[in-house]
Chain A
Amino acid sequence: MLGNIIELTAITVFFISFYGLITSRGVIKSIISIGIMEVSIVVFFLSFGYEKGIKPPIGQEIVNAADPLPQALVITAIIIGVALTAVNLTMLISLKREFNATEWDILKDRTHPEFNKNI
């Protein structure tokens, strides 16, 4: 039961962050939305190891422990997520220095001047 609730929460948060991607004009908000998306997946991975009275898979000779594999996967996913966020922000900073904007549309206009020729 609780597992189901957590799963539903994860799916809801995932699509809320997707809504954020669709609506946000700024690159920073897009990066934040992607971060929220990653968190929702972490929550989702943790949901399906859950049963009542289950113990964390730490130490030796424990009975009735949770499946350790999702947690190993989640740690890898978190690390990748942190690295990618850092890369994204680095790229954004160098674009900001060059073009003095952090909005998708303005950046596109300033980096692709040939699109505006005919207007």
Chain B
Amino acid sequence: MLTYFVIVPLLTAVFLYVFSSAKIVRIIAIIAQAILASFATQLFFLCKKGDIITTIGNYESVLGITLRADTLSSVFVVLVTFAFFIAALYSLNEQQNKLFWLLLFIWEGLLIGIFLTRDLFNVFVLMEVAMVVVSILIMFNRDNRSMYDGMFFLMVNIVVMQFYLFGVGYVYKLTGVLDMEAAALVLSEIDKSSLILPFALIMTAVGLKCALVPLYSWLPKAHGTAGAPSAISALLSGVHIKSGVYLFMRIIPIFQNIDASWFFLWAGILTGIVGFIFAMSQSDIKLVLAYHTISQIGMIVASLSIGDSYSYMGGLYHAINHALFKAALFLSAGVIYEAYGTRNVYEIRGVFKRFPLVGMATAMAILGITGAPLFNGSISKYFIMSGTNRITSFALTFINLGTIVSFIKYSTMLYGKSDFAGEAVKISINKQLSIFILGLLCFVGGILGEEFIEFLFNVQVSVDAAGYLQKVAYFVASVVVGYFIYKYFVLKSSLLKRIKEIDLGFRAICVSIGAFFAFLLIAAKFSVG
């Protein structure tokens, strides 16, 4: 049954490309997306009763390629289909090209495949094909910058997937299986020291997919490139990056004998700090958002590595929240660019007045990402904080402060007087609607946070009122401090201008891949003893 979730989008893509005309392709596409999303929801409800396992070719479960849907993967499948539905709604009148819809549907099928499969080699195949599709979508408008960025993204990811394949080869050599659960069983009884090399090889690839600290510089190029359609940027930052986080959650239990969680905890925290520093220095709104993706993913990876069940839940919920508010922000950035003709955050003013609906959704998404009380970010950040000790909680509060500072800068474009003199651009209702749905979900996910977590993951959690109020006080204090930092540091600093120009080339990022690999080897060696 699960194979249909991968095959149907692929077949729909081909069908749309071959048989439909340019006029009706969009209407069929949006209907198909809605149907897919509803089936994914059905799958989610089925998974609540128990895992669904499909083995391709009717082999025994360990020998064949297994697709397996449990609560975690089905939640992500619902998220993927929902995000693609919103993206399709957004680009309904923007994209007339049939090729766009072909690639969009193929990408969706591959992403669902990544979230469902439990075969290590199958992950490699799906990732590689998804990379090609994504790089073509990045350079879809054939803009100068995005052509280079698309090629850069593709080459870096190919290099790192070779590391992954090498690691998978080692796992197969040691265990004789490629199924994740079976491999975990066998590897738990094998001599620890033989696990170091495959662990380092595979986690280097996963680290790059999550954009951890030395390996992040491909992400702003891919997600923030100016020429890519905004729906594509939203999907990249919203759901595609989650495939890396998901892989992180699946691979770490396979190597349960190697406890390198301290490494990923600090790598995540460092990523969070580096991400917001770069975001502060940028003035292109798309690049600001792309650097914030790095920062937030670092926070999610850190919270998954703390080793506390509440923090783990918080990180998971934050991954879903991040998809909602980041997609909303990227889509609204696309609308704002369309209306103002500039991406410079210091030149755009008065979005609220011109587009009340878009402005409201942007404000809600900003409140979500900064962890304002009553919004979804506050709930997930509250749970992340509950498992921290003194040092990590300080570090995470610091990351949140940085996020607030750079979003104070971002939110200055919402109000103020616009000196925009050009022709008034009318933004179609479906774009406004798709952004508003996402913004509204940020608010609903905050008010019904506990219920959402219980509904999605079957885990009962409770928010302690006193602790939550303390976090609210922290938030208010952070906003006040953040405003002063913005006013007296961000606007005047020449240091940030120099940081802005730091950009790693291809060779530099290959060096950092090697460095990350070496660090991981040492960390794994250290934890094995």
Taking CB atoms, residues of chain A closer than 8 Å to B155 are: 27, 30-31, 34, 88
Taking CB atoms, residues of chain A closer than 8 Å to B402 are: none
Which residue of chain B has the shortest Cβ distance to A23 in the bound complex? B507
**Chain B interface (Cβ within 8 Å of chain A)?**
121, 124-125, 128-129, 132, 135, 139, 144-145, 147-151, 154-155, 158-159, 162, 165-166, 169, 172-173, 176, 178, 501, 503, 505-507, 510-511, 514
Contact B148 A112 (CB under 8 A): yes
With A34-B155, A41-B166, A115-B501 known as contacts, the answer to whether A108 contacts B148 (CB < 8 A) is: yes
Beyond contacts A14-B166, A34-B155, A69-B178: 16 other A-B pairs, Cβ-Cβ < 8 A, are A21-B159, A23-B507, A24-B507, A27-B155, A34-B159, A38-B162, A41-B169, A48-B169, A48-B173, A69-B172, A73-B172, A84-B158, A91-B135, A91-B151, A104-B506, A107-B148
Partner of A41, one of B128, B145, B159, B165: B165
Contact A22 B507 (CB under 8 A): yes
Partner of A88, one of B147, B154, B173, B178: B154
Nearest 8 interchain pairs by C-beta? A111-B148, A48-B173, A91-B151, A21-B510, A37-B162, A104-B506, A22-B510, A111-B144
Which residue of chain B has the shortest Cβ distance to A77 in the bound complex? B165
CB distance from B127 to the nearest CB of A (A): 10
Taking CB atoms, residues of chain A closer than 8 Å to B178 are: 69
Q: CA A90 – CA B332 in complex, angstroms? A: 33
Q: CA A113 – CA B113 in complex, angstroms? A: 39
Contact A111 B507 (CB under 8 A): no
Contact B125 A80 (CB under 8 A): yes
Q: CA A119 – CA B231 in complex, angstroms? A: 34
CB distance from A108 to the nearest CB of B (A): 6
Which residues of A from 69 to 92 have beta carbons under 8 Å from B? Answer: 69-70, 73, 76-77, 80, 83-84, 87-88, 91-92
Q: CA A67 – CA B178 in complex, angstroms? A: 14
Contact B158 A34 (CB under 8 A): yes
Partner of A30, one of B129, B162, B173, B506: B506
Which residue of chain A has the shortest Cβ distance to B166 in the bound complex? A41
Taking CB atoms, residues of chain B closer than 8 Å to A18 are: 510, 514
Contact A94 B147 (CB under 8 A): yes
A105 within 8 A of B: yes
Q: CA A26 – CA B506 in complex, angstroms? A: 10
CB distance from A100 to the nearest CB of B (A): 13
Contact A22 B511 (CB under 8 A): yes
CB distance from A48 to the nearest CB of B (A): 4
Taking CB atoms, residues of chain A closer than 8 Å to B158 are: 34, 84, 88
With A34-B155, A87-B132 known as contacts, the answer to whether A111 contacts B145 (CB < 8 A) is: yes
CB distance from B141 to the nearest CB of A (A): 13
Which residue of chain A has the shortest Cβ distance to B136 in the bound complex? A87
Total residues of chain A contacting the partner, CB 8 A: 43
Contact B154 A98 (CB under 8 A): no
Which residues of A from 41 to 59 have beta carbons under 8 Å from B? Answer: 41, 44-45, 48
A32 within 8 A of B: no
Taking CB atoms, residues of chain B closer than 8 Å to A115 are: 501, 503
Contact B148 A83 (CB under 8 A): no
Q: CA A92 – CA B139 in complex, angstroms? A: 13
CB distance from A45 to the nearest CB of B (A): 5
Contact A95 B148 (CB under 8 A): yes
Q: CA A76 – CA B505 in complex, angstroms? A: 30
CB distance from B278 to the nearest CB of A (A): 14
Taking CB atoms, residues of chain A closer than 8 Å to B159 are: 21, 34, 37
With A41-B166, A98-B144 known as contacts, the answer to whether A80 contacts B510 (CB < 8 A) is: no
A118 within 8 A of B: yes
Q: CA A98 – CA B139 in complex, angstroms? A: 14
With A18-B510, A22-B511 known as contacts, the answer to whether A87 contacts B147 (CB < 8 A) is: no
Contact A41 B162 (CB under 8 A): yes
Which residue of chain A has the shortest Cβ distance to B503 in the bound complex? A115
Taking CB atoms, residues of chain B closer than 8 Å to A24 are: 507
Which residue of chain A has the shortest Cβ distance to B508 in the bound complex? A22
Which residue of chain B has the shortest Cβ distance to A99 in the bound complex? B144
Which residue of chain B has the shortest Cβ distance to A111 in the bound complex? B148
Contact A91 B147 (CB under 8 A): yes
CB distance from A22 to the nearest CB of B (A): 5
CB distance from A52 to the nearest CB of B (A): 18
Q: Enumerate 5 A-B pairs (CB-CB under 8 Å) in ascending A order.
A: A27-B155, A48-B172, A77-B165, A84-B128, A104-B506
Which residue of chain B has the shortest Cβ distance to A22 in the bound complex? B510
Taking CB atoms, residues of chain B closer than 8 Å to A84 are: 128, 132, 154, 158
Which residue of chain B has the shortest Cβ distance to A80 in the bound complex? B128
